[in-house]
């Protein structure tokens, strides 16, 4: 009994420490025919904060972000912990504190406040307006940046496939079937007709897209899969509760027939590929309270992600580099 008690105390202390450190995961993504001007282009992904606090006014998280050199930063949803949450400052403080917002985008998650106010017309919600006022763009359709004569476009995945007025296994807002909103979405969708072909196309989404959803989209007559070079997502929290060797016990995925219990190990976090589309999924920073007494991460430290684009060398097999950098209080450890 004493040994068991000591083990439980040690596990509790470790879990508390593990939930409050910040890791930076680096991944090199190999892309066919990547222009040399985009070689090494880096994207920092921040996702699934769920109002988690990393020091006063998010100081430790801000320091971790500002210690990383990147060319673009993306926030892929669930920065707040519920659609009715008013704790906007838990996210705003991060935006206010980061130094590089030259290329910065946000896409919403299912735990974020709704993105629009819909009455007789449609306007961005107070939450989204606050994000944009602080220098991060709400990615409704697409944005293209030019670098030395080549283009790189970021697109909102759900709208880019033509997902208007349907759920398709993702959470939709309360106004999803309101006529002003549907008309607005159709107007946004029409903007893709004006999007020129980019040298690199990167889609942002809160939800990962599993294989059978890709197949569904590809076979749906009113949906369109584009030639994405990379899809960046979050939502799964890496399983949140992970066990050594067993991995994730559950991910919130409506497209699995078992609801996401014991998901495939290679479809939970990190990089995978299906039918030529590469997808990178972050484990994120915070914890979901889907089960209230399990609002913590186990053997699964909070994570931000640095993605670097590299040109694929067709003459040899390349293995993506994965490196973890641990941040604990004011010290930086590399391992």
pLDDT digits (tens, 9 = 90+) for 273-300: 999 999 999 999 999 987 667 899 999 9
Tell me how far CA of residue 273 lies from CA of 202, 228, 277, 314, in angstroms.
14, 11, 5, 17
pTM, two decimal places: 0.92
pLDDT digit string, tens, across residues 157-181: 999 999 887 666 678 899 999 999 9
Architecture of domain 2-334: 4-Layer Sandwich (3.60)
Question: Distance between CA atoms of 271 and 280, rounded to whole angstroms?
Answer: 4
307-323 tens-digit pLDDT: 999 998 766 444 444 44
Give φ, ψ of 90 to 5 degrees: -60, -30
Pull the structure tokens for residue 90: 């838990």
Distance CA 217, CA 162 (A): 10
The three-point CA angle 49-52-53 to 5° equals 130
| Whole-number Å distance between alpha carbons of 16 and 52 | 13
pLDDT digits (tens, 9 = 90+) for 132-157: 999 999 999 999 999 999 999 999 99
- Please report the sign of the dihedral spanned by the C-alpha atoms of residue 76, residue 82, residue 84, residue 86: negative
Number of helices and strands (H, E) in the chain?
A: 7, 18
For residue range 49-66, what is the model confidence (pLDDT) as tens digits?
999 999 999 999 999 999
- Among 318, 86, 42, smallest CA distance to 202 is for 42
Q: What are phi and psi of 41, to 5 degrees?
A: -55, 130
Cα-atom radius of gyration of the chain, to the nearest Å? 20
Q: How far is CA 54 from the centre of its chain?
A: 19
pLDDT(207) > 70 = yes
State the Cα–Cα distance between residues 103 and 153, nearest whole angstrom.
11
- Joined together, the tokens standing for residue 52 give 């988690």
Q: Is 86 left (phi over 0), alpha (psi -120 to 50) or beta?
A: alpha
CB under 8 Å to 42, separation ≥6 — which residues? 69, 70, 71, 72, 306, 307, 308, 309
Coil vs helix vs strand at 246: coil
Give the Cα separation of 32 and 173 in Å (integer): 37
Q: What are 309's two structure tokens?
A: 């684009």
Burial of 154 (0-12, 13-18, 19+ CB in 10 A): buried
| Residue 169, pLDDT score | 67
CA proximity to 68, closest of 137, 135, 22: 22
3-state secondary structure of 93: helix
Domain residues of the chain, as ranges?
2-334
């Amino acid at each position: 009994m004493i040994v068991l008690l000591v083990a439980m105390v040690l596990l509790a202390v470790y879990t508390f420490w593990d939930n409050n450190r910040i890791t930076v995961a680096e991944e090199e993504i190999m892309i066919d025919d990547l222009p040399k001007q985009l070689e090494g282009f880096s994207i920092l992904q921040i996702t699934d904060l769920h109002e988690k606090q990393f020091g006063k006014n998010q100081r430790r998280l801000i320091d971790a972000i500002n210690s990383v050199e990147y060319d673009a930063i993306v926030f892929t949803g669930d920065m707040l912990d519920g659609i009715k949450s008013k704790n906007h400052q838990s996210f705003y403080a991060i935006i206010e504190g980061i130094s590089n917002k030259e290329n910065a985008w946000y896409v919403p998650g299912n735990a974020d406040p709704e993105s629009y106010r819909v009455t007789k017309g449609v306007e961005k919600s107070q939450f989204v307006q606050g994000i944009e006022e602080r220098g991060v763009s709400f990615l409704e359709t697409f944005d293209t940046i030019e670098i030395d004569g080549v283009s790189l476009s970021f697109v909102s995945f759900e709208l880019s496939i033509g997902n208007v007025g349907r759920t398709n296994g993702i959470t939709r807002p309360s106004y999803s079937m309101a006529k002003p909103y549907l008309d607005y979405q159709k107007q946004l969708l029409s903007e893709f007709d004006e999007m020129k072909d980019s040298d690199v196309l990167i889609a942002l989404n809160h939800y990962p897209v599993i294989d059978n959803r890709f197949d569904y989209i590809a076979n749906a007559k009113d949906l369109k899969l584009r030639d994405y070079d990379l899809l960046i997502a979050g939502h799964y929290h890496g399983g949140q509760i992970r066990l050594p060797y067993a991995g994730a016990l559950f991910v919130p995925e409506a497209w699995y027939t078992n609801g996401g219990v014991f998901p495939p190990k290679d479809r939970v976090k990190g990089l995978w590929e299906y039918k030529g589309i590469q997808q990178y999924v972050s484990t994120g920073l915070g914890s979901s309270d889907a089960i209230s007494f399990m609002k913590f991460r186990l053997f699964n430290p909070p994570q931000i992600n640095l993605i670097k684009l590299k040109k694929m060398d067709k003459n040899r097999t390349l293995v993506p580099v994965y490196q973890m950098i641990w941040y604990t209080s004011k010290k930086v450890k590399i391992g």
